[in-house]
Structure 1
Amino acid sequence: MDYIRITSIDNPLFRDMHNLMKEVFPPEEVLEYSLWKEPLEDPGIRVFVAVHEGKVVGTTEYRYYEDFQVAMTDFTIIGQAGLGIGRFLARRRWKDLEELAASTGRPMIGMFAEIYDPYRIEDHAFGGVKPMDPYVRREVLSHLGYKRIDFPYVHPSWENNGEAVEELDLCFLPTDEDAEEISAQLVAAFLRRYYAVLANKPEAWEAMVAGLEARETVALKPL
């Protein structure tokens, strides 16, 4: 299996990747095809596909914020079971992030991820791919060390329509596995940076971030 970076919407593998995203994710979670041009060309956004026998069977997007010393996993898609795609993507991504952090001279303190709450997203089949089932994914991410950041989370729809999406939790994988809290200021600053690309943010999101900015820490809870 090959781990190949995508940097242009003209790469034929990107069409396969985008089709896979549409099969697996709800519409509000998928950025329109042409809007990917700038993100793919951004050196700070890392989009990779897992290619098996010439076919895109998985993909992941992530980024590293040097000033925050944190990463963000935008998404991970496993296209089919029985190939070890999830482990392959997780290992290759972590190795890449460790190298990025090392190049800055400061260690990575952890990685954010939005994780579906299976009890609030039961009506979506995620393409019928069992490894993408929210119950399975949540348990796998728990095994990897992710913890739920303990606050009511909403995020702006990627359809940029100002709607609030409420079926996810914001989670964090600390490099210190014994960490029991995270800086609320860090979470707020990260969210403002991460969602700066979306002009239409719901009022619930603005209120949520303002609430974080008024706090010192937020607890990290088991998934």
Structure 2
Amino acid sequence: MEYIRITSIDDPLFKQLHQLMQDVFPPEEVLEFDLWKEPLEDPGIRVFVAVHNRKVIGATEYRYYEDFNVAMTDFTIIGQAGLGIGPFLANKRLEDLIYLASINGNRLYGMFAEIYDPYRVEHYEFGGVKPMNPYVRREVLSHLGYKRLDFPYVHPSWNNDGEAVTGLDLCFLPMEARVNEVQTELIVKFLRRYYSVLSNKPESWHAMIENLGANDKATLLPI
């Protein structure tokens, strides 16, 4: 299995990746093909695919914020069961992020991720791929060490239509097990940066940011 970075929509592997995203994710979570041009060319956004026999069978997108010393996992896709795609992607991603932090003189502090909560929203099918089942993914991420940040979370739809997407938790994977809370200042700065590309955010998102700013820390809880 190969771990290959994609930096252009003209890369033949990207066509396979975009189709895989459409097969797996809800429509509101997938950017249109042409809108991927700038993200893929952005050096701070890292999109890698798992390739087996010249076929894209998995993928992950993530980014490292040097000034925050944290990462964000945008998505992880497992296209087939029984090939070890999940561990392959998770290990390769972590190796890359540890390296990125090290060349900036840091030890990676942790990684954010949005995780669907199937106990609140049960209709997510994710293309019928069993490893992508929200119950399975949530348990796997828990085993990896992710914890839920203790506040009601919403995020702006990637359709940039001002709609709020609910049914998710914002989670954090601390690199040190003793970390059991995160400064809300870091969370707010991260979310403002991460969603700066969307101009049309729902009022509930702004209210969430304001409420976060009223506290010093957010507790990390089991997921």
Q: TM-score range by the shorter chain?
A: over 0.9
TM-score calculated relative to the size of structure 1: 0.99
- Which position in structure 2 is the counterpart of 1:166? 166
**Aligned residue identity for 2:73:** T
Structure 2: how far apart are the matches of 1:200 and 1:57? 33
Q: Does 1:153 align with 2:147?
A: no
CA contact (8 A) 2:47 2:60 kept: yes
Q: CA deviation at 1:121?
A: 3.0
User: More deviation in 173-182 or 137-146?
Assistant: 173-182
Structure 2: how far apart are the matches of 1:12 and 1:167? 34
- Which position in structure 1 is the counterpart of 2:24? 24
- Which position in structure 2 is the counterpart of 1:73? 73
Q: CA deviation at 1:116?
A: 0.4
- Which position in structure 2 is the counterpart of 1:46? 46
Aligned ranges for residues 2-151 of structure 1 at < 5 Å? 2-151=2-151
How many residues end up aligned between the 2 structures?
223
Instruction: Please tell me the root mean square deviation across aligned C-alpha atoms, in Å.
Output: 0.6
User: Following TM superposition, where does structure 1 have runs of at least 4 consecutive aligned residues deviating by more than 4 angstroms?
Assistant: none
TM-score calculated relative to the size of structure 2: 0.99
- Percent identical pairs in the alignment equals 70
**Aligned residue identity for 1:133:** N
Q: Any idea what the Cα deviations from partners look like across 1:73-123, whole Å, max 9, x if unmatched?
A: 000000010000000000000000000000000111000000000123311
**Aligned residue identity for 1:7:** T
Structure 2: how far apart are the matches of 1:83 and 1:178? 33
Q: Any idea what the Cα deviations from partners look like across 1:17-70, whole Å, max 9, x if unmatched?
A: 000000100011111111100000000000000001110000000000010010
- Which position in structure 1 is the counterpart of 2:218? 218
Structure 2: how far apart are the matches of 1:70 and 1:218? 16
For structure 1, the 5+ residue unaligned runs are none
**Aligned residue identity for 1:33:** F
CA contact (8 A) 2:114 2:171 kept: yes
